Amino acid sequence: MKLADVLGTVAFTSLMDWEASQEGYGIQYIQSTDGNENGLTAVALATNGSYIDDITVYGDNPILPWLQKFSAELDDFAQQLYSQGISQTQYNEGNLTFSSALT
């Protein structure tokens, strides 16, 4: 399941353009908190975790299944790094996070 397929072309392009403008920051994905199940909020965070900017886009399909799959993939990736002796700080995996107010 690709994010582009979940969001649709217009929302995905808008998100990618915004992300390009946030170069150098970590991006956190969360389900929008406005009750729209198709809403995805992306938050740009500095390496110390401080808020920089955010955008909410509304796709063609519910975002929660994608967020859950993305989170599982990140957890698996973090475990692979850990098993190789690579810390989150070393790889900066800590900036890739998942959360949802609706789970």
Domain ranges across the chain: 3-99
Q: pLDDT tens digits, residue range 26-36?
A: 999 999 999 99
pTM of the predicted protein model: 0.77
H or E segment to which residue 69 belongs: helix 64-83
Q: Cβ of 66: how many Cβ atoms within 10 Å?
A: 20
Q: What is the mean pLDDT of residues 60-89?
A: 87
- Does the pLDDT value for residue 90 go beyond 80? no
- Does the pLDDT value for residue 21 go beyond 70? yes
Q: Is residue 92 very low, low, confident or very high in pLDDT (cuts 50, 70, 90)?
A: low
Dump strand ranges (E) for 1-102. Answer: 26-31, 39-45, 51-58, 97-99
What confidence score (pLDDT) does residue 103 get?
Answer: 43
Q: What is the mean pLDDT of residues 60-87?
A: 88
- Does the pLDDT value for residue 95 go beyond 90? no
